Amino acid sequence: MKCRVCKCHVVIELRQHNSAFCAEHFLAFCRRQVERAVDKFDMFRPDDKILVAVSGGKDSLALWDMLVELGYDADGLVIGLGIGEYSEASTEFARTFARDRGLTLHEYSLDAEHGFTVPSAAQATKRVPCSSCGLSKRHIFDSVATSGGYDVIVTGHNLDDEAAVLFGNVSRWQREYLARQSPVLPAANGFPRKAKPLVRLGEREMAAYCVLSNIEYVVEECPMAAGNKHLEYKGLLNDMEVASPGAKHAFYFGFLDRAADLFASAQDETSGSAEDVLSPCSVCGSPSSNDICSFCKLVSLAAVPVEVEITARPDMIDK
């Protein structure tokens, strides 16, 4: 088997594309897939200022690398989530990546800024850790993007991630989630635009991209995510992909092409308007449908207790 482009030695075969590539043309193939996603879904323009949500894993670092290679103006933001050695290692990979390439990496520590970590928040809220983790990341990425004047936040969600989320939403036919499942969400209600430029590439391709680009990344999955549904759905989709190469792509892009509009229209009719009415959170000023936003409620619940806060906060939580 030979590289589809130059006929030289193959390093990777992509059954779903009925193709194989040498290292150089595989990296070019990946960047082309990113460009195609950016163009097709009008994710951002060449002069947009991009904030990359960096975890230190293969997807976000490969994405950042590709955007820079493609000539985009992209800075990174890594959040210290306080998940023990996993978070420390992740942050260190992000730092090394940025330093080696002379890129700007913003750092934000949940513990230093707000006095809690993902594990302590899970304990305080008595909910799965992924819940406060997701909430915190969304809030901080939104805040930093807004205050830093970024046009768009990009995340490293790949085809495997998006297909698994879609699978979960379809398994219970959650109309409100299906209505919002898109690789780009426009800026609305004071929240910045968000985009997922890796939707045309899978986990295997992203791991190969990092290896072939000498990008070092945290290989372990988050220790707090073990056994979650998302991983179960990924496993089922992998079984489908083995039986029918291209099945994940057909499932995810088939939804975008032929079903997403139905759910989005139905949601618009239900809510009366595509835009919710939001007002600034009375604590942090972020757009919120309540007086105090969900993140500030989490902070009041999960932060290391201080005498005055313990007496002051419960009322706010129940509002």
The contact set with a second copy (CB under 8 A) reads 170-175, 178, 229, 232, 236, 239-240, 243-244, 247, 250-251, 254-255, 257-259, 262-263, 266
**Cβ–Cβ under 8 Å, residues 317 and 124:** no
Cβ proximity to a second copy: between 232 and 309 the closer is 232
CA distance 147 to 274: 25
Nearest approach, Cβ of 231 to a second copy (angstroms)?
Answer: 10
Nearest approach, Cβ of 1 to a second copy (angstroms)?
Answer: 26
Nearest approach, Cβ of 186 to a second copy (angstroms)?
Answer: 22
Nearest approach, Cβ of 245 to a second copy (angstroms)?
Answer: 13
Q: What are the contacts of 207-211 at 24+ separation with CB within 8 A?
A: 207/58, 208/11, 208/12, 208/26, 209/26, 209/27, 209/30, 209/58, 209/62, 209/65, 209/66, 210/58, 210/61, 210/62
Cβ proximity to a second copy: between 231 and 306 the closer is 231
Distance of CA 188 to the CA centre of its chain: 18
Cβ proximity to a second copy: between 113 and 257 the closer is 257
Cβ proximity to a second copy: between 103 and 256 the closer is 256
Cβ proximity to a second copy: between 34 and 159 the closer is 159
Cβ proximity to a second copy: between 97 and 263 the closer is 263
Nearest approach, Cβ of 179 to a second copy (angstroms)?
Answer: 10
Nearest approach, Cβ of 251 to a second copy (angstroms)?
Answer: 5
